[in-house]
């Protein structure tokens, strides 16, 4: 490792200590990788690409040294809870639709059974307009 790399790592560790102590000097003090990069005076992508181990260490220290949960984890938990709620709503909606389909199928069967077949002397149902040609029942 070159000297610049070592200096960045040292600044990141010092910034990590300041943020976890609640004494930020440059950043807004939030416990995020972006705030850590600002506090350390390094580019955010340098933290996310070259110093991934320090970012992981930072989030690990957040979990162990504070009672706070990292912002990214909070957002993920909120998304998961929203998705679980959506899935639950969809399942209940599907159950309702299945019940409606069953009821409609039974109602259709009752209507067909109650109408019966027309008498053989009357080929068309009574009251049908003269421009409507009904389908003939199939002969078995």
Using pLDDT thresholds of 50, 70 and 90, give the confidence band for residue 13.
Answer: very high
Using pLDDT thresholds of 50, 70 and 90, give the confidence band for residue 85.
Answer: very high
More reliable by pLDDT, 114 or 88:
88
In this model, does residue 95 exceed pLDDT 80?
yes
Question: Cα angle vertex 58, ends 65, 32, to 5°?
Answer: 100
More reliable by pLDDT, 99 or 72:
99
For residue 103, the model assigns a pLDDT of 93
In this model, does residue 118 exceed pLDDT 80?
no
More reliable by pLDDT, 117 or 15:
15
Rounded to whole angstroms, the Cα distance separating 40 from 8 reads 8
CB count in 10 Å sphere of residue 31 = 19
DSSP class of residue 69 equals -
For residue 93, the model assigns a pLDDT of 96
Assessment of whether the complete model's pTM goes beyond 0.85 = no
Burial category of 46 from C-beta neighbours within 10 Å (exposed 0-12, middle 13-18, buried 19 and up) = middle
For residue 128, the model assigns a pLDDT of 60
What are the residue ranges spanned by the domains of the chain?
A: 3-68, 72-108
For residue 121, the model assigns a pLDDT of 54
Residue among 10, 12, 40 at smallest CA distance from 25: 40
Q: What is the mean pLDDT of residues 25-43?
A: 89
């Amino acid at each position: 490792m070159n000297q610049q790399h070592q200096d960045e790592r040292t600044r990141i560790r010092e910034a990590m200590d300041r943020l976890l102590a609640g004494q930020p000097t440059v950043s807004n003090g939030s416990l995020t990788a972006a705030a850590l990069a600002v506090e350390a005076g390094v580019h955010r992508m340098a933290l996310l690409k070259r110093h991934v181990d320090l970012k992981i260490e930072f989030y690990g220290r957040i979990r162990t040294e504070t009672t706070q949960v990292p912002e990214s984890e909070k957002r993920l938990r909120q998304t998961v809870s929203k998705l679980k709620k959506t899935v639950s709503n969809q399942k209940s909606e599907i159950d309702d639709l299945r019940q409606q389909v069953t009821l409609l199928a039974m109602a259709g069967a009752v209507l067909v059974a109650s109408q019966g077949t027309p008498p053989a002397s009357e080929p068309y149902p009574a009251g049908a307009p003269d421009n409507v040609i009904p389908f003939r029942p199939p002969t078995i």
